């Protein structure tokens, strides 16, 4: 089946991640916002003037683009500024672009991709793959110390090329953003159903390269499980796996690509397992009298392998702030969905297990859509949470000095309660010390039979001045606590450059040696995304 390309999207903001330029707040809106904030906080709030591309003083490009590549490579200031950062572009509003790429490529064909990679590799320029630029871990930030930096933005690889309806799989180009991908699958009745919070500003290739965590809270949680085969260009040529539903032939070639964060090659396309759009749904918001009392019910449901699509547990603070509850009870959102099978028996079984573990929900609050289009998941606490979850990045607060962020991990159930106590104590102590106080809440984004993937959100008390150092101090305390208590430095935000110190303590040393050797086998000059995952 042949599918038409989508029209090009608008330009994205170079200083506020997640916004198109047309949606950027104005100077006036930001002034008003800062004024309100100042009044609420009872202290002055400094407002940096909005940056304009014309004002930027970027280092001159150190590299000349060969004529053969000129049609899709640029040294344009906007392009270099935009590609200087991922989602962590807090310095951009201060016009700080100390290490921009020298050249940004937008290859439109595999031949162009080959040409630019060959040129960059031969010349020994750091070569940075770029998708949506949603990295929160400096995964696409150019490294220092290279004579040239070439960022390869895959945004022109934005099409669903083929749909195999029998196998429910599609061949999809890696540079397609979430919404454009869904737009191309929807007319055929399909969906990838991979909805990370970055969905609107991230791409398939980025999801695969970073082991993105998606829509499904249980069972097939990471993008990993939906990859049927991959096609990746390395400096030594193409690495392409066979389309197979399963295989036992040696270590999986795809599992080396998945999570490689651009150090082995640039993914150009993948065969992905797709879903028929759900018709049957069921949702329940089960409450528990405390955070601690909610673990067992959650665990019982996932260990019973009912595999709900949604199984998100919110702590009492988050259930209050995000779902309109009273702050005393935890909320477990359970959701089932299917294109084929009515879901009532499944949700009843899950609710029964939750109730046996002390969860409360009235029967009439279990919402079941038996294919008649009854909306589920849009009422009450569940609906309130759904609205909160969809990110509304506005850029209003950029550069105002707020300290806030998230960190996430995974840990086995036996260690979880102590893990949570440790992490909360240490991060709260850091917030108190660095910000004079702050808040911290937690939810489970994904849940496994052997443990949860907790996701923490923190906000420090406001202090005037720039916030990078305070921000980094909180992140440092969180990372230390996670590692010490036995978790992973990331469940689905990737490693990039920022998580390196903790990742290096977590992964087996000999695995790092093996990965470094594997990288050099396909990237002999070591140009691809240097500093990510391993040292050059």
Q: Which residues, 268 to 297, sit near a second copy by CB under 8 A?
A: 273, 276
Q: What tokens appear for 379 in the block?
A: 């009422």
- Identify which of residues 35 and 255 has a Cβ nearer to a second copy in the complex: 255
Q: Which of 48, 110, 518, 536 binds a second copy (CB under 8 A)?
A: 518
Q: What token pair was written down for 384? A: 């309130």
Segment interacting with a second copy (CB under 8 A) among 181-189, 235-243, 387-395, 398-406: 235-243
Q: Which is nearer to a second copy, 84 or 376 (CB)?
A: 376
Does 516 interact with a second copy (rule: CB under 8 A)? yes
Q: Tell me if 236 contacts a second copy by CB under 8 A.
A: yes
Instruction: Tell me: does residue 167 bind a second copy (CB under 8 A).
Output: yes
Q: Is 481 in the site for a second copy (CB under 8 A)?
A: no
Record the tokens describing residue 17, joined without a space: 């991640």
Q: Which stretch binds a second copy (CB under 8 A): 24-32, 92-100, 233-241, 473-481?
A: 233-241
Residue 2 binds a second copy (CB under 8 A): no
Nearer to a second copy, 25 or 205 (CB): 205
Q: Cβ 97 to a second copy, closest distance in Å?
A: 28
Residue 246 as a binder of a second copy (CB under 8 A): the answer is: yes
Piece of 90-98, 220-228, 371-379, 468-476 that binds a second copy (CB under 8 A):
220-228
User: Under 8 Å CB-to-CB from 372, ≥6 apart: which residues?
Assistant: none
260 binds a second copy (CB under 8 A): yes
- The rounded radius of gyration (Å) of the Cα atoms in the chain is 23
Q: Binding a second copy by CB under 8 A: which of 171, 320, 493, 497?
A: 493
From candidates 41, 244, 390, 429, binder to a second copy by CB under 8 A = 244
CA angle 428, 448, 294 (to 5 degrees): 55
- Decide: is 196 part of the binding site for a second copy (CB under 8 A): no
453 part of the interface to a second copy, by CB under 8 A: yes
Q: How many CB atoms lie within 10 A of CB 292?
A: 13
Q: Is residue 338 a contact partner of residue 277, using CB atoms and an 8 Å limit?
A: no
Q: Which of residues 364-423 bind a second copy (CB under 8 A)?
A: 410-414
**Lookup: tokens for 69:** 């590549």
CA 111, 117, 123, 125 torsion-angle sign: positive
Helix (H) or strand (E) run with residue 239 in it: strand 237-240
Task: Rule CB under 8 A: say whether 503 interacts with a second copy.
Answer: yes
Pick the closer one to a second copy by CB: 327 or 449. Answer: 449
**Inter-residue contact 458 to 440 (CB < 8 Å):** yes
Judged on CB neighbours under 10 Å (0-12, 13-18, 19+), 133 is buried
Judged by CB under 8 A, which of 499, 526, 529, 531 binds a second copy? 499
Residue found under tokens 């050099």 = 520
Contact yes or no for 348/411 (Cβ under 8 A): no
SS3 content of the chain, % helix, strand, coil (to 5): 35, 20, 45
What is the size of the binding site for a second copy (CB under 8 A)? Answer: 98
Q: Is 169 in the site for a second copy (CB under 8 A)?
A: yes
**CB 347, CB 301: distance < 8 Å:** no
- Rounded to an integer, what distance in angstroms lies between the CA atom of residue 231 and that of residue 160? 14
CB of 246 to a second copy, least distance (A): 5
| Min dist. Cβ of residue 16 to a second copy (A) | 25
Please name which of 113, 388, 146 lies closest in space to residue 265, comparing C-alpha atoms. Answer: 113
> Distance of CA 328 to CAs 288, 319, 345, 413, 424, Å?
9, 9, 30, 23, 18
Find the part of the chain contacting a second copy (CB under 8 A) among 119-127, 256-264, 389-397, 468-476.
Answer: 256-264
Confirm or reject binding of residue 7 to a second copy (CB under 8 A).
no
Site for a second copy in 307-346 (CB under 8 A): 307, 338-342, 345-346
Long-range contacts of 38-46 (CB under 8 A, 24+ apart): 41/462, 43/462, 43/464, 44/464, 45/400, 45/401, 45/462, 45/464, 46/400, 46/401, 46/464, 46/465
Q: What 3-state class would DSSP assign to 405?
A: strand
Positions 34 through 63 that interact with a second copy (CB under 8 A) = none
Q: Does 111 bind a second copy (CB under 8 A)?
A: no
Told to check if 102 binds a second copy by CB under 8 A, we report no
The least CB distance from residue 493 to a second copy, in Å, is 7
Q: Is 227 in the site for a second copy (CB under 8 A)?
A: no
Shortest Å distance, C-beta 296 to a second copy: 9
Tokens of 520: 């050099």
Q: How far is the CB of 95 from a second copy (least distance, A)?
A: 33
């Amino acid at each position: 089946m042949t599918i038409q390309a989508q029209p090009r999207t608008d330009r994205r903001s170079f200083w506020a991640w997640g916004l198109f330029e047309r949606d950027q707040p104005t100077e006036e809106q930001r002034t008003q916002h800062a004024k309100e904030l100042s009044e609420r906080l009872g202290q002055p709030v400094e407002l940096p003037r909005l940056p304009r591309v014309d004002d930027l003083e970027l280092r001159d490009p150190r590299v000349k683009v060969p004529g053969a590549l000129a049609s899709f490579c640029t040294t344009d200031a906007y392009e270099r500024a935009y590609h200087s950062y991922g989602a962590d572009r807090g310095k951009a509003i201060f016009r700080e672009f100390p290490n921009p790429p020298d050249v940004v490529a937008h290859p439109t064909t595999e031949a162009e991709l080959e040409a630019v990679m060959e040129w960059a590799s031969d010349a020994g320029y750091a070569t940075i793959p770029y998708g949506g630029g949603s990295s929160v871990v400096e995964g696409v930030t150019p490294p220092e110390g290279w004579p040239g930096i070439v960022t390869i933005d895959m945004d022109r690889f934005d099409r669903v090329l083929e749909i195999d309806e029998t196998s429910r799989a599609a061949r999809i180009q890696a540079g397609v953003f979430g919404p454009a991908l869904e737009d191309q699958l929807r007319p055929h009745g399909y969906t990838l159903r991979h909805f990370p919070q970055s969905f609107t500003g991230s791409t398939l290739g980025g999801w695969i390269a970073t082991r993105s965590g998606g829509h499904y809270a249980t069972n097939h949680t990471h993008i990993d499980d939906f990859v049927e085969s991959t096609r990746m260009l390395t400096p030594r040529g193409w690495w392409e796996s066979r389309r197979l539903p399963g295989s036992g032939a040696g270590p999986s070639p795809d599992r080396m690509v998945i999570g490689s964060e651009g150090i082995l090659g640039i993914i150009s396309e993948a065969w992905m397992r797709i879903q028929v759009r759900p018709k049957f749904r069921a949702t329940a918001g089960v409450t528990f009298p405390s955070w601690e009392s909610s673990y067992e019910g959650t665990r019982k449901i996932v260990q019973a392998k009912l595999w709900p699509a949604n199984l998100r547990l919110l702590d009492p603070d988050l259930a209050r702030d995000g779902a309109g509850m009273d702050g005393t009870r935890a909320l477990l959102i359970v959701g089932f969905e299917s294109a084929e099978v009515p879901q009532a028996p499944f949700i009843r079984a899950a609710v029964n297990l939750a109730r046996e573990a002390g969860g409360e929900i009235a029967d009439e609050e279990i919402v079941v859509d038996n294919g008649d289009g009854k909306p589920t998941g849009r009422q009450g606490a569940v609906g309130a949470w759904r609205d909160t979850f969809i990110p509304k990045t506005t850029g209003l607060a950029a550069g105002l000095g707020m300290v806030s962020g998230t960190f996430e991990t995974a840990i086995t159930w036996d260690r979880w309660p102590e893990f949570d106590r440790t992490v909360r104590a240490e991060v709260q102590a850091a917030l108190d010390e660095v910000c004079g106080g702050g808040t911290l809440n937690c939810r489970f984004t994904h849940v496994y039979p052997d443990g949860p993937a907790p996701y923490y959100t923190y906000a420090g008390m406001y202090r005037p001045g720039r916030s990078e150092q305070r921000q980094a101090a909180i992140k440092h305390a969180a990372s230390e606590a996670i590692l010490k208590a036995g978790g992973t430095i990331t469940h689905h935000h990737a490693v990039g450059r920022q998580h390196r110190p903790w990742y290096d303590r977590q992964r087996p040393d000999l695995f790092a040696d093996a990965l470094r050797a594997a990288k050099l086998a396909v990237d002999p000059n070591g140009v691809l995304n240097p500093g990510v995952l391993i040292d050059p």
